[in-house]
Amino acid sequence: MDVIETFNSERYLQLLQWQGHLAQQRLEQTGKITVIIQDRASFHRSNQVKQYWQRWQQQGLYIFSATILTSNEPY
């Protein structure tokens, strides 16, 4: 399998800007927010991406990082 391109902060930022636009439309039409759960990849936590978090929340897009469960206990 050949890898054509890698995913980085710039590409992730483009994706989230698009999702922010869609989230704003959804919020205006339905009053519902959009939630994205992401892993802890470095580009998810980059300063370039973090500077947009407040704007996205105003658009109705909320982003959370998943935590790794270390217990054998059921959810």
> Can you give the pLDDT at residue 26?
97
> Can you give the pLDDT at residue 9?
84
> Can you give the pLDDT at residue 75?
47
Chain Cα centroid distance, residue 43: 10
pLDDT in tens, the chain (75 residues): 565 667 788 888 999 999 999 999 999 999 999 999 988 888 888 888 889 999 999 999 999 988 765 555 554
> Can you give the pLDDT at residue 31?
97
